[in-house]
Amino acid sequence: MLSITSHNLLQLTRPTPDFGGLVPSLYCSWAVWAEQDVSGNWYLPPDFDRASALEFPVHQPDAEFPRELVQQLHTRAIFVGLAPGESGLRRVAGVDDWLPFHAPGRSRDDRVAEALRGTPLWGSFMTDLLPLIHRDKSLLLSGWLKDPRNTAEITENFAAWEWLVQQIGALTNESNRTPPILCFGAQTYAYAQLFLTGNKRLTAREYTVIKLDSYSPANRKINTVSYRDLVIQALEMAAPELLEEP
């Protein structure tokens, strides 16, 4: 039975004593996107594209979460990117809460929004596999992950990642289950397999990881429509139960 409330979501927008006073809402979000009209009302546009505002529909500090929004949120699956990039260094609590995966323009987050529209995965939890690392270039990050001098920091990152997942799971009375991890891109999938499964994992639990195509603008072979098709096809093959209404 879901127990997410406006109150316990607000708790995630405040510093915690863990990981140097981490503010969870700066490192994660939910698969819900909306636009706001001139009167301040949130609405779902007929489609998402590069020009869409792509906001998570609550930004005011300490604002109550609308009941209809809270009811959409769940942890039946968790979407992950690799790392926040340099933009993560500039996030400010009370201003940039729930910003990950909700940036318009060149990040092409609109492709994810359109892919999940109208599916049971709308409302899923989203975060990065390496939430405390900021590397804009994937090649630089790849080299950093392979350097044994960074083992302690890598371990801390996965501890932070699992802590985030458990905090969210606790909101839904599902902290004892291990939801499938849906990875954006081959590199994210490779590191999730390495660090979340098998004997080399850095987490207390072993997770099931599923590969999705990258939605990055670097993937020039896709558009918003074809990306949705790729996501649905991947899930139909790997985890069709995620496309069934709960």
Highest CATH level, class, for 32-241: alpha beta
What residues pair up with 126 in beta bridges, in sequence order?
A: 29, 79
Q: How far is CA 238 from CA 79, 134, 187, 222, 231, in A?
A: 14, 30, 18, 21, 11
**16-59 pLDDT, tens digit each:** 888 888 899 999 999 999 988 888 888 888 888 888 888 898 86
In this predicted structure, the answer to whether residue 86 has a pLDDT above a threshold of 90 is no
Domain boundaries, the chain: 32-241
Residue 20 pLDDT: 83
The DSSP-derived string for 36-71 is: E-TTS-EE--S---TT---B-S--STTPPPPHHHHT
Tell me, what DSSP letter sits at residue 212? E
In this predicted structure, the answer to whether residue 192 has a pLDDT above a threshold of 50 is yes
Residue 138 pLDDT: 59
Specify whether the CB–CB gap between 122 and 231 falls below 8 A: no
Q: How many residues does the chain have?
A: 246
In this predicted structure, the answer to whether residue 1 has a pLDDT above a threshold of 60 is no
Tell me the average pLDDT across 137-166: 84
Residue 30 pLDDT: 95
At residue 206's C-alpha, the angle toward residues 161 and 160, to 5°, is 10
